[in-house]
Structure 1
Amino acid sequence: MSTTQNLPLIAGQRAGKPIRCITKLEPVFQRLQQAARRNHYWATIAVKELNALTTGVLGKNNVYVRPGKSRTKNSNELYYVFLPGLKATVVRWPDDQFCITELNLDDNYFRATEWSDDATRMGLYRAREDRDRNAWNVELVPNGKIHKQPGRLIAVADARYKQASDAAADAVPRAVELLGVGAAHVSANGADLHFTPGQKALGGLVCYNPLAVDKARKSAVLLAKAMADARDIEDVTWIADSGGSAVLTQAMQILADKGITLEKHGVYLYKPRTSPARALRLAHQLKLRLNQRFADTGYSVHGALSQYSVAGLRLKNNKDPYNKGYHAKAWLNGAQKVAAPAGILAAAIGGQAGMAMAAIATAITGAGVLQDLAKGATERFGYKFRR
């Protein structure tokens, strides 16, 4: 490795940081380039992102440092680059050059964007309901672009499905019901589905930070590309279903890092398994359209607290329809279910912590809400709290 100048130079010949690879990987990279020239979708993304290392690794969501393995035995910085169907190991030398030392490609990588009748490929699918069979038919979209139609709905599914048809059967109808999208519209035109194959759901309490979910990184790169390509289509809605929130949030981070905005699009999270607060901040940065109800966190206390943590941020954003009246309503009628978590609520109504609740209530929409909050809590929990 000391004779760095003798290794193949694959990028940065004219500008930026030189990118090299070890000799045995040169044929693999050349094949990637050839596939990219033939418009192979995954290879095109791979070559572009690997070439982008000429600008460094900062601000790239698909590049990360593995805890405990951040340096080689020679103390050189060590990075991992996640791309659709591919993982690269990259070493940064003291002279600020990068060298790709490993390229791990999925089986049948160069056939990965061809049509497949088993619907197990990662990527974008057209989804249409088959009422006669009570099922959803899906078809892989080789170029990864959503249908160019105003009002298009795209469901970002969790990774616990082996086939895209199963993911569509769960995620798309839920998205239609939650957002109030006309059933006739989806029946006639279908919807799009972003599919991440897997056996387990993404995120969860152990990994609630969406930007730390490694299994979502490859899929997020594909989704970010689809979102960027669709930015001129009117009234597109992206809805993440369950652990799909990790994929969508990472894709949003990639777009934010690139300075891309989506003023014509909207976003929504259904029972996200990762922090909605992270997604909310990125939604503001991307100038996405938001409803008052940005996420349905179900009965998740972590989700409710995450949403509440950015309530102030939403109230201060004059382009966000969220307001004090809606925030108070969400607490009072249980629309966020546990947006007032039981522990906080009981403490607030049950004694000295009433002063704390009064302060929160005042922050929401005035001191008068406290009495209504106590009344609403009594109705919801079915008994009276002692003072």
Structure 2
Amino acid sequence: MSLPRTSLQLSPQNTPLIAGKNAGKLIRCATEYQEKFDRLQRAAERNHYWALIAVKELNALTTGMLGKNNVYVRPGERQRGTGSEKYYVFLPGLKATVVRWMNDQFCITELVMDDNYYRVKDLDGTRMGLYRVERGRSDAWRSTYVNGGNVKPQSGRLVTVADAKYGTANDAAKFSVPGAFEFLGNNTSAIRAGGCDLHFTPGASRLGGLYCYNPLKVNESRASAVHLARSMENARDIKYVSWVADFGGSAVLTQAMQILVDKGVTLEGHTVYFHRPRTSPAKALRLAHELQLNINKEFADTGLNLRGALSQFSVAGERINNSHDPYDRNFHVKKWLKRVVAVSTPVGVAGAIIAGPTGVMLGGIATVIGGAGAVFALGQSVTKDLRHKLDL
């Protein structure tokens, strides 16, 4: 039985040329994937918006990898024995593995494409991308797909970024829009009357979670993040847009933020918020600073998720030292002592404070804030919160 051909056996002599014939670097494709590439091109010729983008970005390889961090995820791999560089290309509806040979040519060695993604017509409400969401009868939320993915040019526009595992965009809106209301507080009347936008990610399972907490390593959300980043970049001149991620939508939003940072885009005046994120909010916080986003003192609601709380806590010092971040020492003390009590039981409060993760958290509070005044504040707050907790 013959073994499958690997990229080590590929060469310019046995791979077809698909781009770069007239200018730039030569781009080749393993023969077994050329048919898929041809289908992608046919979808682009039918003016399928995201297929056009995918073909354009793949053809852009002819100018090299420089400046393409928004699309190309580079784990630093090299193929043993050849020195060839290996890249992973994530685009709407596809994932490609690309090898850069020593002669500076590129070859697509694997192309995983969702064929259904490039159909001329998609089932209503199941396409990846941006939707207009309005309140319908019986307080239900109705969504309409937005060709091109542009946010409604309205000052103060809300865009929710939903988790996957919803059958349709309407289903996603049913949960993600109310989740965004927590960020809005009492100011929900405009959304109830005029609606908002929703970024929808179709998928069989939720994104992120305990075993994939680093948002930049969630592969299932990369194509969706490319969509969202494009929507965010195109919306940069709209004032006061709020981007609110719900649960696993945190992976999509964080990756989109990384794309924009890599491109040098800023979103001054825009705001981000994470409702019960299933990925680390700490990474998103650092990206928010780089994007010059406005962020509230409450950047993310992690509920009783201790890992999420510690993730936020790990960047508290950076927030306090950032002059444009409203997060200050007093809020830090109040927030984290409240968190200590929340994760403790009435019987085990004292033990939770003395030892365990909450004990480490308390020690860190004093370290970040520093000074005798902080110690006094800690003592006073502990006493007050414990009395409330134990009903003394």
TM-score (norm 2): 0.84
Residue 387 of structure 2 corresponds to residue 379 of structure 1: yes
- Aligned counterpart, 1:41: 49
Per-residue deviation, 1:157: 0.6
Change (3 A) 1:249 1:13: farther
Per-residue deviation, 1:174: 1.9
Secondary structure, counterpart of 1:367 in structure 2: helix
Distance 1:27 1:99 in 2: 15
- Aligned counterpart, 1:126: 132
Residue 193 of structure 2 corresponds to residue 188 of structure 1: yes
Secondary structure, counterpart of 2:242 in structure 1: strand
Per-residue deviation, 1:66: 7.6
Residue 65 of structure 2 corresponds to residue 56 of structure 1: yes
Distance 1:284 1:33 in 2: 39
Residue 123 of structure 2 corresponds to residue 116 of structure 1: yes
Alignment partner for residue 334 of structure 2, among 329, 332, 337? 329
1:83 alignment partner AA: L
- Aligned counterpart, 2:166: 161
Change (3 A) 1:381 1:71: farther
1:287 alignment partner AA: Q
- Aligned counterpart, 1:228: 233
**Aligned positions, number:** 377
Change (3 A) 1:198 1:333: same
- Aligned counterpart, 1:254: 259
Asked if 1 retains the 8 angstrom alpha-carbon contact of 2:160 and 2:180, the reply is: yes
Residue 227 of structure 2 corresponds to residue 218 of structure 1: no
Per-residue deviation, 1:131: 3.4
Per-residue deviation, 1:331: 2.5
Per-residue deviation, 1:323: 1.0
Change (3 A) 1:333 1:59: same
- Aligned counterpart, 1:21: 29
- Aligned counterpart, 1:147: 152
Per-residue deviation, 1:5: 9.3
Asked if 1 retains the 8 angstrom alpha-carbon contact of 2:273 and 2:299, the reply is: yes
Distance 1:353 1:276 in 2: 17
Per-residue deviation, 1:321: 1.1
Change (3 A) 1:55 1:336: farther
Structure 1 unaligned segments of length 5 or more: list them.
none
Secondary structure, counterpart of 1:100 in structure 2: strand
- Aligned counterpart, 2:316: 311
Per-residue deviation, 1:85: 1.1
C-alpha RMSD of the superposition:
3.4
Secondary structure, counterpart of 1:192 in structure 2: strand
Asked if 2 retains the 8 angstrom alpha-carbon contact of 1:298 and 1:337, the reply is: no
Change (3 A) 1:81 1:211: same
More deviation in 54-63 or 234-243? 54-63
Secondary structure, counterpart of 1:208 in structure 2: coil
Deviations 1:102-158, CA, capped at 9 Å, x for gaps: 33321333326x4633x12211111112233x4211111121111111111011011
2:270 alignment partner AA: H
Per-residue deviation, 1:362: 2.9
Distance 2:36 2:87 in 1: 19
Residue 97 of structure 2 corresponds to residue 97 of structure 1: no
2:58 alignment partner AA: L
Asked if 2 retains the 8 angstrom alpha-carbon contact of 1:332 and 1:376, the reply is: no
Change (3 A) 1:195 1:365: farther
More deviation in 204-213 or 1-10? 1-10
Change (3 A) 1:93 1:58: farther
Asked if 1 retains the 8 angstrom alpha-carbon contact of 2:317 and 2:368, the reply is: no
Asked if 1 retains the 8 angstrom alpha-carbon contact of 2:270 and 2:293, the reply is: yes
Asked if 2 retains the 8 angstrom alpha-carbon contact of 1:72 and 1:78, the reply is: no
Asked if 1 retains the 8 angstrom alpha-carbon contact of 2:87 and 2:99, the reply is: yes
1:63 alignment partner AA: Y
1:221 alignment partner AA: V
Query: Identity, % of aligned pairs?
Result: 50
Per-residue deviation, 1:239: 0.4
Distance 2:92 2:341 in 1: 35
Distance 1:248 1:233 in 2: 18
Change (3 A) 1:59 1:280: farther
2:142 alignment partner AA: N
Secondary structure, counterpart of 1:222 in structure 2: helix
Distance 1:270 1:336 in 2: 21
Change (3 A) 1:88 1:301: same
Structure 2 unaligned segments of length 5 or more: list them.
1-9
Secondary structure, counterpart of 1:187 in structure 2: helix
Per-residue deviation, 1:187: 2.3
- Aligned counterpart, 2:270: 265
Distance 2:321 2:222 in 1: 31
Residue 212 of structure 2 corresponds to residue 207 of structure 1: yes
- Aligned counterpart, 1:7: 16
1:43 alignment partner AA: A
1:272-283 counterparts in 2 under 5 A? 272-283=277-288
Change (3 A) 1:327 1:35: same
Distance 2:11 2:377 in 1: 69
1:318-357 counterparts in 2 under 5 A? 318-334=323-339, 337=342, 345-347=353-355
